[in-house]
């Protein structure tokens, strides 16, 4: 999403400069090279370094947080400090709720902070708003997301977005909003056969931890909403492979000892996927 956003921004005539900042500056330079725009500059950043982060965002018109969602909060804090508008791609429910609690600070700084402006959340929020605005009352919103990716690849496992975020979706309790309360569900439960428009077609959807379940009950409470849930249908091959990896322990963050060295199974899997060569093809997801 960050790569696509950067590419889109360079195409606007009224945008003078786009800064791509990443902990891995080599990867940032690779992205910049593919975009081939004189508007782009590349910076190295560790978002946990508050002083450097504040210096980086200072003077910008807006910051898009396209990092792992767990790092959204320090970026919003820097934007509040420097009075820079903020947007992110989602906070997987819990982080989103933390940022929503920072609303008074955002307002006091005189900035706009938009949470969840990716695909889901993002497009789903806009669709929900378009529907809700046409109704006098809304009892429930059930978000059903069908995933399809026909991008050619020889990789054994292709994550449609951050593998760490997906592992959290596979291992952390989804939240269903019902009558004013959020109820945790078991991960990978709530299986439901659904028929999506092509190219997804018939697919099995499961509950997933997602930000829509945090924001919809607040955004649409004046319409009397009493139920919000989110289910996602991954491609069956991807679901089977990742469920197997999670079942044997690769979803765990808890370090294990391997020949006297402590390693996180999750980080091992993420690193192996990062080492898979990136194929120079246009996405078809």
* pLDDT tens-place string over residues 195-237: 999 999 999 999 999 999 999 999 999 999 999 999 999 988 8
Same domain assignment for residues 244 and 144: yes
Same domain assignment for residues 270 and 152: yes
Q: Domain of 220?
A: 137-275
Q: Above pLDDT 70, what percent of the chain? A: 97
Same domain assignment for residues 110 and 151: no
Structural domain includes residue 226:
yes
Structural domain includes residue 83:
yes
pLDDT tens string 51-67: 999 999 999 999 999 99
- CATH number of the domain encompassing residue 57: 3.40.50.720
Structural domain includes residue 126:
no
- CATH number of the domain encompassing residue 230: 3.30.360.10
Same domain assignment for residues 104 and 13: yes
pTM of the model: 0.90
Write down the pLDDT at residue 195.
96
Write down the pLDDT at residue 61.
97
Same domain assignment for residues 224 and 95: no
Same domain assignment for residues 224 and 267: yes
Report, as an integer, the average pLDDT of 30-42. 94
More confident site: 238 or 84: 84
Report, as an integer, the average pLDDT of 92-101. 97
Same domain assignment for residues 50 and 142: no
Write down the pLDDT at residue 8.
94
Same domain assignment for residues 90 and 176: no
Number of independent structural domains in the chain:
2
Phi and psi at 50, nearest 5°, equal: -60, -40
């Amino acid at each position: 999403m960050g790569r696509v956003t950067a590419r889109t921004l360079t195409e606007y005539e009224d945008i003078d400069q786009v800064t791509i900042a990443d902990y891995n500056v080599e990867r940032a330079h690779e992205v910049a090279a593919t975009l081939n725009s004189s508007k782009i500059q590349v910076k190295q950043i560790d978002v946990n370094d508050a002083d450097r982060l504040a210096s980086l965002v200072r003077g910008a018109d807006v910051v898009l947080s396209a990092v792992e969602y767990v790092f959204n909060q320090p970026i919003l804090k820097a934007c509040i400090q420097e009075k820079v508008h903020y947007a992110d791609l989602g906070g997987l429910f819990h982080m989103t709720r933390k940022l929503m609690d920072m609303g008074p600070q955002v307002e006091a700084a005189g900035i706009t902070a938009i949470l969840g402006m990716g695909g889901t959340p993002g497009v789903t929020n806009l669709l929900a708003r378009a529907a809700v605005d046409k109704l006098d009352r809304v009892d429930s919103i059930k978000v059903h997301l069908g995933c399809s990716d026909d991008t050619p690849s020889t990789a054994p496992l292709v994550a449609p977005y951050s593998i760490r975020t997906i592992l959290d979706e596979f291992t952390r309790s989804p939240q269903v909003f019902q009558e004013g309360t959020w109820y945790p569900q078991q991960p990978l439960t709530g299986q439901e056969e659904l028929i999506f428009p092509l190219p997804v077609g018939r697919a099995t959807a499961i509950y997933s931890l997602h930000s829509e379940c945090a924001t919809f009950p607040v955004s649409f409470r004046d319409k009397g909403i009493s139920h919000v849930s989110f289910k996602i249908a991954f491609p069956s091959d991807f679901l089977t492979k990742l469920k197997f990896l999670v079942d044997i322990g690769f979803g765990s963050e808890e370090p294990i000892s391997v020949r006297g060295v402590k390693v996180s199974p999750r980080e091992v899997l993420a690193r192996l996927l990062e080492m898979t060569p990136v194929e120079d093809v246009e996405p078809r997801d």
